[in-house]
Amino acid sequence: MTADIDSVKELIVERAKELYSRGLFSTSGGNISARIHDTIVMTPRRASEGGWKINVQDLAVCDLEGNIIESGRGPSIDLDLHLAAYNTLPAKGAIHSHHPLPSAFAFAGVPLVAQEGGEWRGLDKIPLIPYAPPGSTELVAHLTEGFRQLRERFEKHGYGIVLMKKHGAFIVGRDVDFAIRAYDRLLEASLLVVLQKIIQL
Ligand SMILES: [Zn+2]
C-alpha cells in the first residue's frame, strides 16, 4: 500500500511537470490528483507558483472524507472539488485547469458543444455549472451536480469534463493518463469550435 502510494506520488509530480512543460498548466493555478484505493494524492496549495517545482514530499494525501494523512506543503484550496469527483464518479484521476481555451467558454457562459464523431465521443454535452467563489461549499455543490450529469457518459467513455462558469475546467478520468487524454481532447474541441466560428464569420 505504501509502495503503491509512493508510485502514485511520483506519477502526480511527473504528470504535473509534463502538463506545465506542455503549456497545459500555467503559474496561475491548476491542480491534479489521483485516487488509489480509498486514498487521494493531490498537488499542494500554490503548486503553480514558481513553475511547478514540486516534489513528492510536497503532495497532500487524504482519505475520501478529506481527513489529512500527509499534509505536505498543505492541501490545495480545491481539495474538496477533487473529493467531490471521487465521491460522485468512479474516477481515479482528476485535473483542474484555468487554460484560456476552454475557460473562454466558461467565462462567456457559452456551452461548449463539440461535434460528435471520431475522437470527440462524449464531448457533445459538457455541463457548464454556475459561478461560485473558489473554496466555497456552493462551488462543491455545483460541481457535484455537474459530475452527476456525467455519470452515464463517464461509464461509457471513461472520462468526463465540467466547465465552471467564470473559472475554468474540471476533467476526470478512469486514471490520471485518461484524464490527461480527455484534457487534450477538450483543448482540441475548444480550438476547433473557435476556429470554425472565425472561419464562418
Ligand atoms: Zn481554479
Measured in Å, residue 83 CA sits from the centre of ligand 1 at 15
- For 31-70, how does the pLDDT look when each residue is reduced to its tens digit (9 = 90+)? 999 999 999 999 999 999 889 999 999 999 999 999 999 9
**CA–CA separation, 76 vs 79, rounded Å?**
5
pLDDT beyond 70 at 119: no
pLDDT-derived band at 170 (thresholds 50, 70, 90) equals: very high
- The pLDDT assigned to 123 comes to 73
- The pLDDT assigned to 118 comes to 55
Measured in Å, residue 168 CA sits from the centre of ligand 1 at 6
Measured in Å, residue 118 CA sits from the centre of ligand 1 at 30
Measured in Å, residue 46 CA sits from the centre of ligand 1 at 11
* Radius of gyration of the CA atoms of the chain, in A: 16
Measured in Å, residue 115 CA sits from the centre of ligand 1 at 26
- The pLDDT assigned to 113 comes to 82
Per the CB < 8 A criterion, the answer to whether 150 and 160 are in contact is yes
Measured in Å, residue 133 CA sits from the centre of ligand 1 at 9
Measured in Å, residue 201 CA sits from the centre of ligand 1 at 32
Q: Is 14 helix (H, G, I), strand (E, B) or coil?
A: helix
Per-residue DSSP letter, 29: B
Using CB atoms within 10 A of its CB, is residue 32 exposed (0-12), middle (13-18) or buried (19+)? buried
- The pLDDT assigned to 120 comes to 60
The pTM for the full model equals 0.94
Measured in Å, residue 1 CA sits from the centre of ligand 1 at 31
Per-residue DSSP letter, 114: P
Measured in Å, residue 199 CA sits from the centre of ligand 1 at 31
- The pLDDT assigned to 1 comes to 66
Cell representation of residue 139: 462551488
pLDDT beyond 60 at 160: yes
- For 14-29, how does the pLDDT look when each residue is reduced to its tens digit (9 = 90+)? 999 999 999 999 998 8
> What is the CATH T-level fold of the domain 2-199, as seen in this structure?
L-fuculose-1-phosphate Aldolase (3.40.225)
- Give mean pLDDT, residues 139-148: 97
**CA–CA separation, 82 vs 40, rounded Å?**
9
Per-residue DSSP letter, 194: H
Measured in Å, residue 49 CA sits from the centre of ligand 1 at 13
Measured in Å, residue 170 CA sits from the centre of ligand 1 at 9
**CA–CA separation, 34 vs 85, rounded Å?**
11
- The pLDDT assigned to 16 comes to 96
